[in-house]
Structure 1
Amino acid sequence: MERQSPADLARALYAALAAGNREELDALLHPGFTGRTAEGMPFGIGGDHDGPAAMRRNGWGAIARHFDARAEPERFLDLADGRLLVTGRYQGRGKQGGAALDAAFAHLIAIDQERIRSLEQYTDTARWHDAASRLRTVLLDFEGGLATLRLNRPDKGNAIDESMAADLAEAATQIAERSDVRALLIASNGPNFTVGGDLGLFAGTPREQLPNRLRRMIDSYHLAIERLTSIDAPVVAAVRGGAGGGGLGLLYVADIVVAADDARFALGYGALGLTADGGSTWFLPRMVGMRRAQELFLLNRRLTAQEALGFGLVSRLAPYDAVESEAAALAAKLAAGPTRAFGAVRRMLRQSFETGLGDQLTAEKDSIVAASTTDDAQEGISAFVGKRRPNFGGN
């Protein structure tokens, strides 16, 4: 049988990947195959994959789950160390409606006994992120169990319009669908966290069209709030500048809120002749008490950061320049915790205001019994007895 060149083997690999031919891949890959996808790829795809099965499942398989794309090789170059350098472009698009994918790549391929022993991928990960998502007004990133959701209309004070409401619903859905998310950080670009609803949009909407526009926008936004309160992963919010109106809903879903010591908070509905959204009438009385909630709504009172801390609206204060780093450190700490147990506690705390004592005691019993069956509970108990720090896996 004629010996295949490294370039021929590489061409066969790209053809098998394009066709989704698993049998051909098994024949081409060495049993000791190792793969490396570029760090910074979206959806946590980047990293090392040991073995053909791991690469098929977590490397190429993950790409196929999120993208309709194929590698188009252009040049093959034999290197002095025996490896093959392949350059070309990835072409396609994300399955969630992002931009078209057109990203350069370089693959370093090693051959052993006429089978592919390793493949290292280098590519323009920014192009992959552009193709990964249809999000336009928020940024969403996943790395090491930590999801970061960042509002990104800084020139508009991160005001919530129809696009941002839809993006928040989509981002919350993506977060809720990922079992590897162990903590969420909510932050923003620009000097303000969010000024709330986009009043310029409201003012420019004909009176007869405004109700339907508000309904569509708030439906999406409320879906985001519901989904972010339901996830197991604890949520940390980092607040700088102003936070107002319905935008406060993003603080309500958080378990810990770190605010700049010069941040400002306001509802503002009364001054507009409007009522509330974002869950304010549900969350605020529970967080600050009924009398304070009534004052905030009816007198349109604005709170300083120190007052917000005293009211219980935020958890702690930090200097402006340190807010996000402190919030990120807290989120990273929570991401290393027992995620399923955290999720159960998040839900029980919120339901406790509507549940009688007997029912809540039953819920606690059922929850702790269920938690005791998890890997994290076994690890936590073992670590306590062994007087060591637990290494939770989130399961």
Structure 2
Amino acid sequence: MDRAAAQELATQLYRALSSGDRDGLDRLLHPAFEGHATEGLPLGLGGDYHGPAEMRREFWGRIGRSYAAHAVPAEFALLDDGRLQVRGRYQGKARGGGDLDAEFVHVLSFSDDRISGLEQLTDSGRWAEALAPVDLETVKFTVTDGVGELRLNRPTARNALNQAAADELYEVALRCAARDDLRALLVTGEGRAFTVGGDISAFAEAEPGELPAVLRRMTSPYHEALRIFSGLEAPIVTAARGAVAGGGLGLLYVADIAFAAEGTKFATGFTGLGLSGDGANSWFLPRLVGLRRAFELYYEQRVLDADEAAEWGLVSHVVPDEALEDRAWAAVRKLADGPTRAYCEIRRLLRDSWSSTLSDQLLKETEAIVRSGATSDAGRAVEAFLAKKTPIFEGR
């Protein structure tokens, strides 16, 4: 292959990676593709990858979950053995972290007019430095022994969601999605209220005519956070007390198990402000409580107490206020000790079932049980069952 043809294939590769063009990658990569990434890259990314699917899923896919960055080629040189050497820089930032600017050298191999190999050299230290998280103020986020805790942290404002909270919830969602060690997540709030929804004082500060732009800026990152949480590959438990209102209900919907303290109130509240609503209420409410009750919550500004919320299907358990966090923590730790990959498949199956036909869902169940059956956890659990022992799950 001459230099021009090799450079064109390389250019197409970087273009496909930048745009997320999976079909383009499939056309470019040879079935016998082999990749090697720099040893010492964070998140265990360094090492060998066999085949296009593994490279796409385990290397480029995991990079995409942790970084918003792309490779910018600058120099191309055809080597004596027919391989192409490309020099350039990775530019962008880590999701939830800092900027990434790292030089790279790629050596591409070719076969049958396709790319059959990629050897990567880059500054792994720069990649690790970029992952250093930015400071959070309106939310707290920690992960300990595989258990994450997201705690809304505006107690004096009853955890009302302002622009900073929307932005930081999006950051935390990205951090959760990027972690391989997260096995369960607890979502709760500091103080007397889980969240009263959007911060009305922030709306009132908008100049005349600016409210639409304020609402768009706030809902965009918040809605993306909810989308990521809903698809997170780890179970979520929510613990709510005091009040759950407006768009803040979205943080209740993304949970698989929801606890509410006795006396907690639930309401949409949008029409009282002349607003149509956000926080995925229009998607989740008809599915959880039915269309008629969803209209009741919107139009009549119905306020539910905790027992009614449980009866309507908004929460799983109602517990005494003093027992709320103990019960929620017990649930999230039990989930963290369970078969994480199986939970991930179950989570996806149940949430996707609302938009799948029976035939589609049956096919998805087969694919999911095959994937979960291939995990180490499944193999050990079968052995433990036959030996009449309690299985120990490691989440993989």
Q: Smaller-chain TM-score range?
A: 0.5 to 0.7
State the match for 1:213 in structure 2.
Answer: 214
CA distance in 1 between partners of 2:41 and 2:228 (Å)? 31
Please list every run of at least 4 consecutive aligned residues from structure 1 whose deviation after the TM superposition is greater than 4 angstroms: 55-58
Contact kept, 8 Å, 1:147 with 1:183, in 2: the verdict is yes
Residue 276 of structure 1 and its aligned partner are, at CA, apart by 1.5
Find the residue that maps to 2:220 and give its secondary structure: helix
CA distance in 2 between partners of 1:163 and 1:197 (Å)? 11
Find the residue that maps to 2:141 and give its secondary structure: strand
State the match for 2:201 in structure 1.
Answer: 200
State the match for 1:186 in structure 2.
Answer: 187
State the match for 2:339 in structure 1.
Answer: 338
Find the residue that maps to 2:165 and give its secondary structure: helix
State the match for 1:262 in structure 2.
Answer: 263
Question: Could you give the per-residue CA deviations for residues 1-46 of structure 1, whole angstroms, max 9, x where no partner exists?
Answer: xxxxxxxxxxxxxxxxxxxxxxxxxxxxxxxxxxxxxxxxxxxxxx
Q: Identical aligned pairs, as a percentage?
A: 46
Contact kept, 8 Å, 1:165 with 1:217, in 2: the verdict is yes
Unpaired stretches in structure 2, ≥5 consecutive residues:
1-39, 44-65, 67-95, 100-131
Residue 289 of structure 1 and its aligned partner are, at CA, apart by 1.3
Residue 200 of structure 1 and its aligned partner are, at CA, apart by 0.9
State the match for 1:310 in structure 2.
Answer: 311
**Which residue identity lines up with residue 348 of structure 2 in the other structure?**
R
CA distance in 2 between partners of 1:289 and 1:337 (Å)? 32
Find the residue that maps to 1:352 and give its secondary structure: helix
CA distance in 2 between partners of 1:337 and 1:308 (Å)? 28
Residue 56 of structure 1 and its aligned partner are, at CA, apart by 11
CA distance in 1 between partners of 2:170 and 2:378 (Å)? 32
Q: How does 1:136-147 map to 2 (within 5 A)?
A: 136-147=137-148
TM-score normalized with structure 2 length: 0.67
State the match for 1:78 in structure 2.
Answer: none
Find the residue that maps to 1:366 and give its secondary structure: helix
Which range moves more in the overlay, 291-300 or 250-259?
Answer: 291-300
Q: How does 1:1-395 map to 2 (within 5 A)?
A: 96=97, 132-395=133-396
CA distance in 2 between partners of 1:315 and 1:298 (Å)? 25
- The 1:294–1:57 alpha-carbon spacing in structure 2 relative to 1, beyond 3 Å, is closer
Which range moves more in the overlay, 238-247 or 383-392?
Answer: 383-392
Find the residue that maps to 2:318 and give its secondary structure: strand
CA distance in 1 between partners of 2:334 and 2:134 (Å)? 28
Question: Could you give the per-residue CA deviations for residues 206-240 of structure 1, whole angstroms, max 9, x where no partner exists?
Answer: 13111111101100101110111111110000001
Find the residue that maps to 1:291 and give its secondary structure: helix
Question: Could you give the per-residue CA deviations for residues 161-191 of structure 1, whole angstroms, max 9, x where no partner exists?
Answer: 0000000000110011001000000011010
CA distance in 2 between partners of 1:176 and 1:57 (Å)? 15
Residue 135 of structure 1 and its aligned partner are, at CA, apart by 1.3
